[in-house]
């Protein structure tokens, strides 16, 4: 983005005579939000790649397995979309919460894993899970409010909060404890103005999956730190559970939705089909009120009528494409279990390749073997390197010299860490990690080179 400046055509500097254009000032909120953008950071790495390098580019920076044949979506999902097109029934605008049949299908899909039934009215469809994040950060941005976000996390939360003027505070995920939430940290951060905490499970960027015990602890901590006078249960902060990687767990721990504990504290579950079905370009996500007691609909509470605000905001925002909404009932009903099993087997294999290769690099530490999502966080052991200043420098040089793109941890609040995705064709992944290893060796200090 910024790098483009030096390439701008000279037209940009042409004198316009006496016209004093009044526009062009940078919106300060947008500048604050763009400082949080991880996209810009990763795109910047692509710009460093040497185009004359004949080796295939290894894209280990962002999680999108859809270009690889081994991760092609289910045939049933493709057929559902083409049937939705040819039916001629999905060419209209859809309502502010989404197409009713699609909301019903999502409610039934999520209810499979919950001890209660969701109704179609608990679901608001969005243009991908990113849009769900936008909606939630916007509706919570009341004057003075703050939200608690994980570090490392998913920077769109920070960007959307900054854009809407919602204060955010970071609690830590603990690498030595399998990236569990630092519960004490959460308690220390919350105050009377805290309205929500966000968790991501299975976790991007850490690759961990939270156990049922840990989720229950997150829940009860929330009750204890409830800042208001009335009962903790009625007035506690809500949990926003980003479950875009629902069922994307290939280790020993099963995926447990936070909504299982929705009777104690209201949970807003964010999700979608982008990751599990591997179709991020289809732009279909959702916001689910996993809140069996209906706290989010009550009118007298502090967080009054949050559901109504969500629908109002969604109504003045964008709609997911009607075609994909129309296809959702069939996408969910017709994708057989075999597709998911095969996808998770390939993902498990890729995560294993990734973990084993990383273990073979002395200057990189991987604190936790990935067991879910498409990512792993690793630490650069800086004293090993001769001529690398930090993670950003590392990633730029790596892109230039090896055509391997990795996301620097700085973009996620973790300086001198890296986020690596393994959702890549296994052969290319192995190749990319081999290049990462030779890069690390080449930039090692002389004495560490001898040791390895
Ligand atoms: C990919 C991702 C999203 C965005 O999902 P889309 O449906 O593609 O918008 C949201 N949250 C997390 C944690 C993600 O990794």
Mark whether 318 and 392 lie in a shared domain. no
Greater pLDDT, 396 or 192: 396
Domain boundary among 287, 316, 335: 335
Residue 285 domain-assigned (yes or no): yes
Domain boundary among 335, 350, 366: 335
CATH code of the domain in which 380 resides? 3.90.1150.10
Mark whether 207 and 112 lie in a shared domain. yes
Per-residue confidence (pLDDT) for residue 399, from 0 to 100: 98
Residue 15 domain-assigned (yes or no): no
Number of domains in the chain: 2
Averaged pLDDT for residues 76-90:
98
- Which atom of ligand 1 is closest in space to residue 374's alpha carbon? 15
Per-residue confidence (pLDDT) for residue 304, from 0 to 100: 56
| Pocket of ligand 1 contains residue 200 by CB under 6 Å | yes
Mark whether 190 and 311 lie in a shared domain. yes
What mean pLDDT, rounded, does the chain reach?
A: 89
**Who's near 118: CB < 8 A, 6+ residues apart?**
107, 108, 110, 111, 288, 289, 290
Mark whether 131 and 201 lie in a shared domain. yes
Mark whether 301 and 172 lie in a shared domain. yes
Q: For residues 380 and 365, what is the distance between their CA atoms, to the nearest angstrom?
A: 7
The pLDDT tens digits of the residues spanning 138-155 come to 999 999 999 999 999 999
How far apart are the CA of 63 and the centre of ligand 1, in A? 9
The model's confidence at residue 3, banded by pLDDT at 50, 70 and 90, is: very low
The model's confidence at residue 2, banded by pLDDT at 50, 70 and 90, is: very low
How far apart are the CA of 208 and the centre of ligand 1, in A? 16
Query: What is the domain range of residue 253?
Result: 76-335
Q: For residues 261 and 278, what is the distance between their CA atoms, to the nearest angstrom?
A: 28
- Which atom of ligand 1 is closest in space to residue 272's alpha carbon? 7
Per-residue confidence (pLDDT) for residue 218, from 0 to 100: 62
pLDDT over threshold 50, residue 447: yes
CA-wise closest residue to 60 among 365, 279, 374, 415: 374
| Pocket of ligand 1 contains residue 129 by CB under 6 Å | yes
Could you give phi then psi for residue 143, rounded to 5 degrees?
Answer: -55, 130
Residue 192 domain-assigned (yes or no): yes
Mark whether 115 and 226 lie in a shared domain. yes
Token look-up 């290894």 returns 58
Strand partners, 125: 286
The model's confidence at residue 220, banded by pLDDT at 50, 70 and 90, is: low
Averaged pLDDT for residues 320-332:
98
Reading the block at residue 424, the tokens are: 């890549």
CA-wise closest residue to 399 among 55, 155, 152: 55
How far apart are the CA of 285 and the centre of ligand 1, in A? 9
Please state whether the peptide bond connecting residue 445 to the residue before it is cis, i.e. omega within 30 degrees of 0.
no
- Global pTM reads 0.92
| Pocket of ligand 1 contains residue 149 by CB under 6 Å | no
| Pocket of ligand 1 contains residue 274 by CB under 6 Å | yes
| Pocket of ligand 1 contains residue 158 by CB under 6 Å | no
Cα–Cα distances (Å) from 286 to 32, 106, 272, 289, 435, in that order, read 27, 8, 6, 10, 39
Domain boundary among 302, 335, 368: 335
CATH code of the domain in which 321 resides? 3.40.640.10
The DSSP letter of residue 70 is G
Residue 248 domain-assigned (yes or no): yes
Mark whether 157 and 62 lie in a shared domain. no
Cα-only R_g, the chain: 23
Burial class (CB in 10 A: 0-12, 13-18, 19+), 193: middle
Mark whether 244 and 207 lie in a shared domain. yes
Greater pLDDT, 35 or 348: 348
Mark whether 329 and 356 lie in a shared domain. no
Specify the 3-state DSSP secondary structure of 139: helix
Mark whether 299 and 369 lie in a shared domain. no
Residue 395 domain-assigned (yes or no): yes
């Amino acid at each position: 983005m910024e790098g483009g400046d030096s390439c701008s055509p000279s037209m940009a500097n042409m004198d316009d005579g006496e016209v004093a254009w009044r526009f062009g000032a940078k919106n300060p909120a947008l500048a604050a939000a763009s400082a949080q953008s991880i996209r810009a950071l990763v795109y910047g790495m692509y710009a460093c790649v040497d185009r004359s390098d004949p080796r295939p580019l290894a894209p280990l920076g962002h999680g999108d397995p859809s270009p690889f044949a081994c991760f092609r979506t289910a045939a049933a999902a493709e057929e559902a979309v083409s049937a939705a097109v040819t039916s001629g029934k999905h060419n209209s605008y859809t309502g502010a919460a989404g197409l009713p049949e699609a909301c019903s299908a999502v409610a039934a899909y999520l209810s499979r894993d919950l001890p209660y039934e969701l109704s179609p009215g608990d679901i608001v469809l969005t243009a991908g899970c990113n849009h769900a994040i936008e909606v939630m950060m916007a509706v919570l941005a009341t004057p003075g409010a703050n939200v608690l976000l994980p570090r490392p996390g998913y920077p769109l939360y920070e960007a959307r909060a900054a854009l809407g003027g919602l204060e955010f505070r970071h609690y830590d995920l603990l690498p030595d404890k399998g990236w569990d939430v630092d519960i004490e940290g959460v308690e220390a951060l919350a105050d009377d103005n805290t309205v929500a905490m966000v968790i991501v499970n299975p976790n991007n960027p850490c690759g961990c999956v939270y156990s049922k015990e840990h989720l229950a602890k997150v829940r009860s901590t929330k009750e204890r730190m409830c800042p208001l006078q009335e009962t903790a249960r009625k007035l506690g902060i809500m949990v926003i559970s980003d479950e875009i990687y629902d069922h994307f767990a290939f280790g020993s721990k099963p995926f447990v939705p936070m909504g299982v504990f929705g009777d104690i504290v209201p949970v807003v579950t964010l999700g979608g089909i982008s990751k599990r079905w591997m179709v991020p370009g289809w732009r279909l996500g959702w916001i689910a009120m996993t809140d069996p007691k209906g706290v989010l609909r009550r009118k007298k509470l502090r967080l009054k009528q949050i559901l109504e605000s969500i629908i109002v905001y969604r109504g003045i925002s964008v709609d997911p494409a009607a075609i994909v909404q129309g296809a959702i009932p069939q996408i969910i009903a017709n994708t057989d279990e075999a597709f998911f099993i095969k996808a998770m087997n390939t993902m498990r294999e890729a995560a294993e390749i990734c973990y084993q290769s990383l273990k073979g690099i002395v200057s990189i530490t991987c604190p936790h073997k990935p067991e879910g999502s498409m990512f792993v966080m690793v630490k650069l052991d800086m004293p090993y390197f001769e001529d690398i200043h930090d993670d950003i420098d590392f990633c730029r040089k790596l892109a230039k010299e090896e055509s391997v793109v990795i996301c620097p941890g700085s973009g996620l609040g973790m300086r001198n860490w890296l986020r690596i995705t393994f959702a890549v064709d296994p052969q290319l992944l192995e190749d990319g990690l081999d290049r990462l290893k030779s890069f690390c060796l080449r930039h090692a200090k002389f004495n560490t080179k001898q040791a390895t």
